[in-house]
Amino acid sequence: MKVKIDVEAKKDDSSKIDCYKISFQLAGDIEVSKKLYEPDMKELLDDIVDVLGYKPIMEKFNCTIKEAQEIRKKIDRDSDCKDCELKLKECYRCCNVCESPLERDLLKALVKNNIEVELQLRINKDNTVSHFPEPVDPENILTIPDFYLESDNKKICIYTDGHTYHERTEYQAVRDRSIDRELQNLGYVVLRFTTSEIRNGLSKVIKVIKKSIGITEENNFDVSLNNIKITEGTCIRCGAKISYDLKKPLCDDCYQVWMQFGNMDYTERYCCKCGKECYSTSYGSPLCKNCI
């Protein structure tokens, strides 16, 4: 079935929309059409967006229908997205701002290590900056690092070079060195990582970045409460016993239902840890107040 939408202008003012004509092309030459005025058309579009699962994504990331569609498509079709621990947390930046799989891999690793970064910062030759998605000034732009962060008065630019050092052409190497020198003159620290380094040694890459912002293994430890390891948890929706994993607080059946809307803040019934009814948990916060 094909759907066509035509816009009909007002008779007394052709610059203004009078109504929308929606035509449904059925089997053969059968066509059904209906005219909708502005309020009805808006209501129909809202319903379509809701049914397709775009609405919670648009609300979560304050994005357009097109951007939500791209996110939904990746979640449904990309195996990495389906199993991603950061699903519906970093989807907008991952799908709509990152420009390569390398950037996506590094972004996820940075977020998991609680390293806050800005993507696609525009750094100009006069040392002014602008932020994504602001337009780039082609006459003044110096560079757009893949990631940017600040720590202890350090301004750090991170690049994921989509080639190894051996694959770089002489022009690319000269251009990169020139940009690096200009950035350093402006007070920036520059970190560049190759495809091989990110794909085969992501943990080492994270260590380098942590070191650049003053985080060492000694002051970056995690203490577990009384060293008690909990293995059994509770589905926060139906109360079934599941493996204890705060990143997956629903059983398989309830997760499939939850995925239809993907609302991280939807109120659930049980605490994932103690299993008690509390009606205060959610997928994004699966513990009751007593267990937090």
Number of domains in the chain: 4
Q: Do residues 71 and 125 both lie within one domain?
A: no
Same-domain status, 57 and 45: no
Q: Over 60: is that where the pLDDT of 226 sits?
A: no
- Do 167 and 241 sit in the same domain of this protein? no
Token pair listed for 271: 């605490």
Task: Average the pLDDT over 26-47 and give the result.
Answer: 79
Residue where a domain stops, chosen among 168, 194, 216: 216
Domain identity same for 38 and 66: no
74 and 123 in one domain? no
Residues 211, 246, single domain; the answer is no
Is 56 in the same domain as 149?
Answer: no
**pLDDT value of position 228:** 44
Together in a domain, 89 and 139? no
Kindly tell me if the per-residue pLDDT of 190 is higher than 70. Answer: yes
Mention every residue, 6+ apart, whose C-beta is less than 8 A from residue 69: 52, 54
Residue 257, in any domain of the structure: yes
The pLDDT of 190-212, averaged and rounded, is 91
- Looking at this protein, which amino acid is placed at residue 167? E
> Are 197 and 138 members of one domain?
yes
Which domain CATH number covers 144?
3.40.960
210 and 242 share one domain: no
Residues 160 and 201 in one domain: yes
Domain enclosing residue 137, as ranges: 115-216
Position 186 in a domain: yes
- Cα separation, 158 vs 202, in Å, equals 14
If we measure between CA atoms, which residue out of 151, 121, 146, 149 comes closest to residue 136?
121
Residue at a domain's end among 31, 49, 67: 49
Confidence of residue 135 (pLDDT cuts 50, 70, 90): very high
81 and 165 inside one domain: no
More confident residue, 191 or 50: 191
Does the pLDDT value for residue 220 go beyond 80? no
- The rounded distance, in Å, linking the Cα atoms of 14 and 241 is 63
Rg (C-alpha) for the chain, rounded Å, is 25
- Show the tokens assigned to 91: 């989807």
Domain presence at residue 44: yes
27 domain-assigned: yes
